[in-house]
Amino acid sequence: MIEFILASKSPRRCEILKQHGFSFRVAESSAKEKHLEGKLTEKEIIENIKYNSAIKAYNVWCDNKSEVIVSADTTVVKNNVCLNKPHSVNEAFLYLKSLSGTSHEVYTAISIKADNYEKTEIFKTMVYFRELSDSEIFEYIDKFNPLDKAGAYGIQDFVSKQNINNPPYESFVSKIEGSYYNVMGICPFGLEKMLDDYSVSALGTFNL
């Protein structure tokens, strides 16, 4: 499998990729991301997520032009509003309150950047929350301090890959449709396919 540089400091992405046998090292991107606010179209949301992922890959590639760079960007979306990383406990509470008893989308863009090659793809997962009490929300925030997570939660705090089809009673998450790992921050199977496509493209370029 291709070795690459992961343009992300996310411990969750590193954990996922290590578990699935990827070979990589980390180089954090200093690119400035764009965070849109207010109600948006699905197209605007997807294009923004793809931009943030691609700009991080490009930023790291500029200092490592002989390497293959992989980056990702994850956003939680409710009613066409992006719930980015909350700035405060109060904002985290409002995010989780808005997700209570309903469904939302989690989009993750994955980018690959190499010499004469760049590609970004989007992956979507639907997540369903049960009804949450205010005390449950505050207890979760106090215990897990999810201010570094899009949507103010980490799915791994509630369910594991093993019990996702039968979540424990106390779990906020009642069901998901799509990749569990995508909600954590990167879909390893999607990335594997993208790297395979890159390998084919690179081989074709070499043969020319």
Q: Which two tokens stand for residue 192?
A: 């594997």
Tell me the C-alpha distance between 170 and 71, whole Å.
Answer: 33
Q: Which residues is 35 bridged to in the sheet?
A: none
Q: Which two tokens stand for residue 91?
A: 């904002």
Phi, psi angles (nearest 5°) of residue 117: -150, 135
Q: Catalytic residue positions?
A: 73
Of 163, 168, 139, 135, the C-alpha closest to 153 is 139
Phi, psi angles (nearest 5°) of residue 27: -140, 110
